[in-house]
Structure 1
Amino acid sequence: MAHTAMSGFGTTAGDDPLQTAVWRLRSRGCWTDAAALLTPHAANPAAALERVGLLVERCMYTGEGWADAEDALRTAEAGAVSDEERGGAACERGRLAYAATVLGVRDRADEARTALGRAAALLSPDSPSRPLLDFRRGLLAEHIAESPQAARAAYRRAHEGAAAGGDLLLLSFTFHHQARLALREGETAEARHGFSEALRLREELGYLIGAAPALAALADCEPQPEADRLRAEAGRLFRLLGGVPVWLAGRLPVPAPR
């Protein structure tokens, strides 16, 4: 059975029944269940890497499951035989280390830099994983190196690659993060456009767990009462999904007790 190699922001549902089932679970934040569907296929390097992506994404959204992600990552690293597979595993290690750092679990910034650098050395310039790697290097530049200029360049490369490859989920993230930088620089119209496009793509894809962050971000660009409406909708989805993603906690309105 063929598997679409998964990296956290690069997979959309395909025609394969297994991939469709995995996507439906993932898009609703059921990462553990989605990963369980792939466990019988873990001897396949692409499936093993896809399973890692699911479990690392769970860490990023919930702040939990670090040991499971590490175990899955070691399995994927051990089973990788080609440069593409080794590069994909290194890219996931970089993302896991980045997530642990920005969520305050443990400072693994050096590990994140090293792993993403290794991924860059292993992946060919025309690798389909390059746009995703560029995006993750942008995250590192923005949130760890605090270099918005380098982040913008990396996001732009990722955006162009995602558009060329038809990776709509990754495209939603590159829109979102470029919009964040635009908002920081006071470019409200550009930010509003980027956040709106990110939200549109996630709604079209059915990526439910990504809708609340997009709504909350868009609210920061809108006047009242539209801003309050967007934050209320984001809060509804946040509560519906059990408080995921955890980093939205405290940013959304809490309903009054009845």
Structure 2
Amino acid sequence: MSDSGTTAENGDPLQTAVWRLRSRGCWTDAAALLEPHGAEPAAALQRAALLTERCLYTGDGWAEAEEALRGAEAVAGDDEERGAAACERGQLAYASTLLGVRDRADEARSALGRAAALIAPAARSRALLDFRRGLLAENVADAPQAARAAYRRAHAGATAHGDTLLLSFTWRHLAGLALRDGELAEARHGFAESLRIREELGYLVGTAPALAALADAEPEPEAARLRTEAARLFRLLGGVPTWLASHLTPSPAAT
């Protein structure tokens, strides 16, 4: 998703309210605010994206996300809107595959490929598409080089369009690949930038994962401190994201 509502610059009370709920992991409540605007392509897509994000963070709500996505696809009126809906379908299929709910990797590839054919190269939404193609390359195809290239395109696009929240994701995933290659200084910098952005935006539901990621690149005792803070936020949010729990255990060197 874009960073709609993360600042007060546009003065849109609806987007501000949606962001406040989303940033605290209240995706269902945020989506409910958009439901009366379901005939508007942008609102329908944003609602589908919120419910897809809930699936990725909680492993639940697949039927609701699918229904919202079909609604967004139905009201899309031009190539940009149809491409954005295809990008969201690719993300839902990717989340299902990643979390082991159902293998929908082929559907994810097809949907993201369709989005690439519909979304103009210079469009704002292209950066999000590139990022999601990177996720698929890294976590499904196990193709880190292709993933790095996609993340770099997404990073450049997010920078050009001022999509600060997306930058927090590209920083984090580029740092993850750097860590995988043993480039600790680069990894620490990327993870720290991701964490800084999320804290500045108040993206609470994404702060614990950012803390845990930075901990993986830091020596003890700093790593233990970061994981302790991540665990505190994780508990505060009721165990969301669910997949984070396994990353919060202390390393053998710290025990």
Same fold (TM over 0.5): yes
Does residue 1:134 correspond to 2:130, yes or no? yes
Does residue 1:23 correspond to 2:16, yes or no? no
Does residue 1:156 correspond to 2:152, yes or no? yes
Q: Which residue of structure 2 lines up, in the alignment, with residue 175 of structure 1?
A: 171
Residue 10 of structure 1 deviates from its aligned partner by: 4.2
Give the distance between the partners of 2:114 and 2:199, measured in 1 at CA: 34
Give the distance between the partners of 1:148 and 1:206, measured in 2 at CA: 30
Q: Which residue of structure 2 lines up, in the alignment, with residue 236 of structure 1?
A: 232
Q: Which residue of structure 1 lines up, in the alignment, with residue 49 of structure 2?
A: 53
Does residue 1:11 correspond to 2:7, yes or no? no
Letter of the 2:64 partner, please give it.
D
Letter of the 2:4 partner, please give it.
T
Residue 12 of structure 1 deviates from its aligned partner by: 4.1
Give the distance between the partners of 1:80 and 1:245, measured in 2 at CA: 30
CA pair 9-231 structure 1, distance change in 2 beyond 3 A: farther
Does residue 1:121 correspond to 2:114, yes or no? no
Q: Is the 8 A contact 1:11 1:169 kept in 2?
A: no
Q: Is the 8 A contact 2:216 2:223 kept in 1?
A: yes
The runs of at least 4 consecutive aligned structure 1 residues that moved more than 6 Å come to none
TM-score (norm 1): 0.94
> Can you give the 5+ residue segments of structure 1 that lack an aligned partner in the other structure?
1-7
Q: Which residue of structure 1 lines up, in the alignment, with residue 76 of structure 2?
A: 80
Q: How many residues are aligned here?
A: 247
Alignment RMSD (CA, Å): 1.0
1:74-133 alpha-carbon deviations (Å, 9 max, x no partner): 000011110011000000000000000000000000000000000000011111100000
Counterpart of 1:138 in 2: which secondary structure? Answer: helix
TM-score (norm 2): 0.95
Give the distance between the partners of 2:232 and 2:248, measured in 1 at CA: 9
Identity of aligned residues (%): 74
CA pair 174-119 structure 1, distance change in 2 beyond 3 A: same
Give the distance between the partners of 1:253 and 1:149, measured in 2 at CA: 29
1:187-207 alpha-carbon deviations (Å, 9 max, x no partner): 000000000000000000000
Does residue 1:199 correspond to 2:205, yes or no? no
Counterpart of 1:250 in 2: which secondary structure? Answer: helix
1:30-53 alpha-carbon deviations (Å, 9 max, x no partner): 000000000000100100000011
Give the distance between the partners of 2:244 and 2:176, measured in 1 at CA: 15
1:26-37 alignment to 2 at 5 Å? 26-37=22-33
Q: Is the 8 A contact 1:12 1:167 kept in 2?
A: no
| Aligned mate of 1:41, from 34, 37, 40 | 37
Give the distance between the partners of 1:109 and 1:247, measured in 2 at CA: 19
Q: Is the 8 A contact 2:5 2:18 kept in 1?
A: no
Give the distance between the partners of 2:140 and 2:171, measured in 1 at CA: 20
Give the distance between the partners of 1:84 and 1:139, measured in 2 at CA: 21
> Can you give the 5+ residue segments of structure 2 that lack an aligned partner in the other structure?
251-255
Q: Which residue of structure 2 lines up, in the alignment, with residue 70 of structure 1?
A: 66
